[in-house]
Structure 1
Amino acid sequence: MSTGINILMYHQVGDFAPMKAHRSTYCHHKRFARQMAYLARFGYTVLSMDQVLACLSGAQPIPPRAVALTFDDGYENFYEYAWPVLQRHGFPAMVYLIADLLGKPSYWFASDGRDTPLLMSPERIRQLRAEGVDFGSHSASHAKLATLETPAIHEEVTRSKAILEDVLGEAVNHFCYPFGSHDRRAVDAVAAAGYTCATTCVRAPATPADDPLTLPRKAISYGDNLIGYFWRLHMKNNPKREMIRRDGYTFADATA
């Protein structure tokens, strides 16, 4: 029986020219298709984030070669390029949405001269939810939470939850820290808002020892061919940084 789950972090999936910078936020659609085919061919179990929680809590065993697929920011190109591939394989996916920016461009790319791809509209989100995509919150404005005053952190996590629950007509229980930026205040705010699960950018497999509100993930980059993909799936990673926990266990700020 496995003791860990590789939660994989994607951002955009699309038709991108070769690049040297910002590669961690892009995945070419042809490589993505090969990566998903690899998971299917070699017997990986792709879990929903609800199933991840159940496994980590001990409610069900962690299957061998367990992975989960998460997509930050909620880009429209998920619908065109990633979702058809996921549907073909029957793989679940979690997409984290920026509540104030639904249907708007991803403004934060403009600061370094990149194109600002469109984020999903409420209509698209409801369509994809009906087709089986899971959605969580990526805050209200995509702010680095650990840099904010405490009241602003609470505003980001609670308001985003309310907006997305109104769009979806159901509870939103999953959160993802923008840029991976979180500290004890942010984790406490996410807990107080009623989320049951939150993901970071700390690179390691998720295990039952992790706090469900600071789960680590492994980023998939533009440059990851199948050899690199295999390496990310099977490496233990650099020793896991001390993780923030709410039970008094050792913790450290984990911004990225």
Structure 2
Amino acid sequence: MYHQVGLPAPKGSPYRGLTVHPSDFRRQMVWLKRLGYRGLSMAQVLPYVRGERHGKVVGLSFDDGYRNVFQNAMPVLDELGFTATNYFVARHLDGSNFWDQPKGVPHSSLMSLPELRAWVASGHEVGSHTLDHVHLNELSSELAAYQITQSKRELENMIQHEVSAFCYPYGHYDNNIRDQVSNAGYTNATTTHRGLARMDDDLLQLPRVTVSRSTNIVRFLQKCLTRLEDNKRRSR
């Protein structure tokens, strides 16, 4: 799970750790490649999660649709033959991370529609992060369902392709919201729960491994390629 790939905000900025330096991102992806792993989008990694296919793969996901991912991460992915899923806030293309700014998080631009379409043209996947990056569990059932369902429709209209991947904003959801995601037609959804995906996981409640600014290459490989995170998950 990544968010931004760019130069970090000034020291003391909230959530500064969610921006991974471009050189660190490149190093992480190159080491995956060297070790024989392939980075895959959610659509492409699901057969491995379900046990239908076997191989050395890592699912790559980005939350929010930041422009710096288009600028700094996509060229690396394309160079290495990797694919990834980016979860877009459907009604805020070419906007910014407005949801974080009341907390003092610096402004960061989101991809435009042409950039989103270029993302798809390069073989990457578009997922939904709702229409407006809302706290779904704080909305009425009707409004939550609208955010989930309408974002899928609008993104599909933009790219003329099915959108089957969803990501819960802030990681907030409950059983009702999970069922609404299923009813909207998504086949998978990611959370902020820590851990590696297993065959017995609910595909609408998939865990992920957070990669932050301070994640050095050794820790990155430990998190992504060993059962360390999974063992921690089992112990909770």
Instruction: Decide: shared fold, TM above 0.5.
Output: yes
Range with greater deviation from structure 2 (112-121 or 173-182): 112-121
Distance apart, 1:115 and its partner CA:
1.6
Whole-Å separation in 1 of the counterparts to 2:223 and 2:16: 15
- By how many angstroms is 1:113 displaced? 1.9
The alpha-carbon deviation at position 56 of structure 1 amounts to 2.5
RMSD: 1.7
Amino acid at match of 2:30: A
Q: What is the aligned counterpart of 2:88 among 97, 104, 122?
A: 97
Indicate yes or no: 2:69 matched with 1:78: yes
SS of 1:95's equivalent in the other structure is strand
Q: Which runs of 4+ in 1 moved over 3 A?
A: 17-21
Letter of the 1:239 counterpart: R
Q: Which residue of 1 aligns with 2:34?
A: 41
The change in CA–CA distance for 1:39 and 1:147 in structure 2 (over 3 A counts) is same
Q: Taking every aligned residue pair, what percent have the same amino acid on both sides?
A: 38
Residue in structure 2 matching 1:55, options 30, 48, 61: 48
Confirm or deny: 8 A CA contact 2:41 2:124 kept in the other structure.
no
User: What residue is the counterpart of 1:239 in the other structure?
Assistant: 233
In structure 2, C-alpha distance between the alignment counterparts of 1:183 and 1:216, rounded to whole Å:
15
Structure 2 counterpart SS, 1:55: helix
How far off its partner does 1:214 sit? Answer: 0.7
Alignment pair present for 1:184 and 2:184: no
How far the C-alpha of 1:240 sits from its partner, in A, is 4.3
Deviation of 1:41 (Å)? 1.2
Shift of 1:236: 2.9
The runs of 5 or more residues in structure 1 that have no matched partner are: 1-8, 243-256
Q: Which one of the candidate residues 151, 168, 173 is aligned to 2:142?
A: 151
Between the aligned partners of 1:204 and 1:240, the Cα distance in structure 2 is 9
Q: Distance in 1 between matches of 2:191 and 2:218?
A: 24
Which has the larger share of helix?
A: 2
- Name the structure 2 match of 1:253: none
Q: Match of 2:51, as an amino acid?
A: G
How many angstroms apart in 2 are the aligned matches of 1:143 and 1:112? 15
CA contact (8 A) 1:27 1:222 kept: yes
Per the alignment, do residues 166 and 241 of structure 1 end up closer, same or farther by CA in structure 2, a change over 3 Å counting?
farther
| Residue 120 in structure 1 maps to residue 111 in structure 2 | yes
* Long gaps (5+) in structure 2: none
| Partner in structure 2 of residue 198 of structure 1 | 189
Q: Deviation of residue 102 (structure 1)? A: 1.0
> How many angstroms apart in 2 are the aligned matches of 1:228 and 1:126?
33
TM-superposed deviation, 1:15: 1.8
For 1:55, give the aligned amino acid: Y
Alpha-carbon distance change, 104 to 171 in structure 1, aligned in 2, over 3 angstroms: same
Q: Distance in 2 between matches of 1:145 and 1:46?
A: 29
In the alignment, the residues of structure 2 paired with residue 240 and residue 189 of structure 1 have an alpha-carbon distance, to the nearest angstrom, of 27
Q: Could you say what secondary structure the match of 2:63 adopts?
A: strand
1:51 Cα shift? 2.5
Determine if the alignment matches structure 1 residue 230 to structure 2 residue 231.
no
CA distance in 2, matches of 1:241, 1:178: 26
Q: Any idea what SS the aligned residue of 2:130 has?
A: coil
